Amino acid sequence: MAEDVLPTSAATLSEADARLADAMVKAALRHLGQLDLLIAARLKKPLGRKLLPVQSALRIGAAQLLLLRVPDHAAIGETVAAVKAGKFRPYAGLVNAVLRALAGAELPPASTNLPQWLRARWAPYYPVEEICSIAAELPPLDIVRRDGTTERFTHPYPAVETIAGYDAGEFWVQDKAAQIPVTMLGDIRGKRVLEIGAAPGGKTAQLVAAGAHVTALDRSAARMAVLRANMARLKMQVEEVVADAREYVPAQTYDVVVLDAPCSATGTWRRHPEVLHILTPADIAELAVLQAQMLARAWGWVKPGGRLLYIVCSLEREEGEDQIARFLAAHKEAKITSPVPGEITKNLIHPYPPAGAEEGWGEGVLRTHPAIQAELGGMDGFFAAILSKKP
- Tell me what the mean pLDDT of segment 123-127 comes to: 90
User: Torsion over CA of 282, 283, 284 and 288, rounded to 10 degrees?
Assistant: 100
In this structure, is residue 128 part of a structural domain?
A: no
Check whether 10 has a pLDDT greater than 90. no
Is residue 296 located within the same domain as residue 373?
yes
Average pLDDT estimate for 52-75:
95
Q: Cα–Cα distance between 358 and 86 in angstroms, integer?
A: 61
Which letter does DSSP use for residue 266 in this model? G
Is the residue at 6 inside a domain?
A: yes
Question: What pLDDT was estimated at residue 148?
Answer: 86
- Phi, psi dihedrals of residue 214, rounded to the nearest 5°: -110, 130
Q: Mean pLDDT for the chain? A: 90
Average pLDDT for 32-51: 95
- Does some domain include residue 97? yes
Note whether 99 and 62 are within 8 A (CB): yes
Residue 4: pLDDT over 60? no
For the purposes of burial, counting CB atoms within 10 Å of the CB of 58, is it exposed (0-12), middle (13-18) or buried (19 or more)? buried
Could you tell me the pLDDT band of residue 81, with boundaries at 50, 70 and 90? very high
- pLDDT at residue 357 is higher than 70: no
Which among 84, 108, 132 is the end of a domain?
108
pLDDT tops 60 at residue 368: yes
Tell me the pLDDT tens digit for each residue of 173-203: 999 999 999 988 989 999 999 999 999 999 9
| Domain end residue (candidates: 83, 108, 133) | 108
108, 124, 156: which is the final residue of a domain?
108
Active site residue 263: no
Q: Please say if the pLDDT value at position 348 is more than 70.
A: no
Number of domains in the chain: 2
At residue 39, the pLDDT reads 98
280 shares a domain with 358: yes
Please answer whether residues 273 and 30 qualify as being in contact, where contact means their C-beta atoms are separated by less than 8 angstroms: yes
Confidence of residue 14 (pLDDT cuts 50, 70, 90): confident
Same domain, 150 and 84: no
How much is the pLDDT for 128? 95
If asked whether residues 205 and 264 sit together in one domain, one would say yes
**Residue 130 in domain:** no
Q: How far apart are CA 276 and CA 143, in angstroms?
A: 26
Quote the pLDDT of residue 8: 46
Per the CB < 8 A criterion, the answer to whether 381 and 315 are in contact is yes
pLDDT, mean of residues 271-299 = 96
Is the domain of 223 the same as that of 356? yes
Q: Where are the alpha helices (DSSP H) in the chain?
A: 2-9, 15-30, 32-40, 52-66, 72-84, 92-102, 116-122, 128-135, 176-183, 202-209, 221-234, 275-278, 281-299, 321-330, 361-364
For residue 225, give Cα distances in angstroms to 5, 124, 173, 218, 230: 18, 41, 17, 10, 9
CATH of the domain at 194: 3.40.50.150
Q: State CA 388 to chain mean position distance.
A: 27
Strand partners, 151: 143
**Given this model, what pLDDT does residue 216 score?**
98
pLDDT confidence bin for 342, thresholds 50/70/90: low
Give the structural domain span for 46. Answer: 2-108
Same domain? For 220 and 360 the reply is yes
167: left (phi over 0), alpha (psi -120 to 50) or beta: alpha
Q: What is the CATH number of the domain that holds 38?
A: 1.10.940.10
Task: Determine the pLDDT at residue 6.
Answer: 41
**Choice among 313, 324, 371, 387 that is catalytic:** 313
Angle of CA points 181, 184, 186, to nearest 5°: 135
Say whether both 313 and 168 belong to one domain: yes
Domain annotation covers residue 349: yes
The answer to whether residues 355 and 124 touch, using CB atoms and an 8 Å cutoff, is no
Flag whether 55 is in a domain: yes
More confident site: 362 or 121:
121
- pTM tops 0.85: yes
pLDDT for the residue 360: 52
Query: Are both 156 and 93 inside the same structural domain?
Result: no
Could you report the per-residue pLDDT of 296-340, keeping only the tens digit for each? Answer: 999 999 999 999 999 999 999 999 999 999 999 999 999 988 766
Q: 366 lies in a domain? A: yes
Q: Is residue 370 part of a domain?
A: yes
Query: What local confidence, expressed as pLDDT, does residue 340 receive?
Result: 60
Residues 284, 165: one domain? yes
Q: Which of 283, 327, 23, 269 is nearest to 132 (CA)?
A: 269
282: helix, strand or coil: helix
Mean pLDDT over residues 339-344, rounded?
A: 54
The type of residue at 177 is A
48 and 145, same structural domain?
Answer: no
Task: Indicate whether 59 and 147 sit together in one domain.
Answer: no
| Mean pLDDT on 225-249 | 96
Q: Are residues 103 and 153 in the same domain?
A: no
